[in-house]
Amino acid sequence: MLEEQDLINEIADIIRQLRRRKKYTFDKLSEMSNIDYSTLNLIENRKQNPRIYTLYKLLYALDIDILHLLKDRNNELKDSKTSIINKLEKIDLETLESVSELLDSFNISKKK
């Protein structure tokens, strides 16, 4: 898991890269996202952690659909789970018991 400052740095770098790739100036992205120029500057220069709605507005202005990305991530997780289940269905009972013991050692609790 990233520390807070590392996350701020990653977000800043991604926004800067996306803005430059689109060849947007600070002024243009500020106008398109309806975010104050100084706020955008602080975010890109790793001085301010953007609020979630500010991040959403920036990504939307940069034509990045965060909701679509989250949905894709959720589908990837479902595909991974299905793949694991398919593999488990094909292994013998002794191996399955060993896998079960291994999983028990991880203290896995059901995700809410």
Same domain, 80 and 60: no
Are 14 and 46 contained in the same domain? yes
Q: Are residues 60 and 72 located together in one domain of the fold? A: no
Same domain, 38 and 74: no
85 and 49 co-located in one domain: no
Q: Measured in Å, how far apart are the chain's first and last C-alpha atoms? A: 19
One domain for residues 76 and 55: no
> Does 79 share its domain with 33?
no
Domain tally for the chain? Answer: 2
Residues 8 and 38 in one domain: yes
Q: What CATH number is attached to the domain comprising 17?
A: 1.10.260.40
Has residue 112 been placed in a domain? no
The pLDDT tens digits along the chain (112 residues) read: 778 888 888 888 889 999 999 999 999 999 999 999 999 999 999 998 899 899 889 988 998 877 666 566 667 777 778 888 888 888 888 888 888 888 778 766 655 4
**Structural domain that includes position 95:** 68-105
What's the rounded Cα separation, in Å, for the pair 5 and 11?
A: 10
Give residue 112's pLDDT.
Answer: 45
pLDDT given for residue 103 in this prediction? 78
Whether 13 contacts 5, CB under 8 Å: no
Residues 12 and 39 occupy one common structural domain: yes
Predicted pLDDT at 30: 95
Tell me, yes or no, whether 10 lies in a domain. yes
Tokens representing 85 are 């289940």
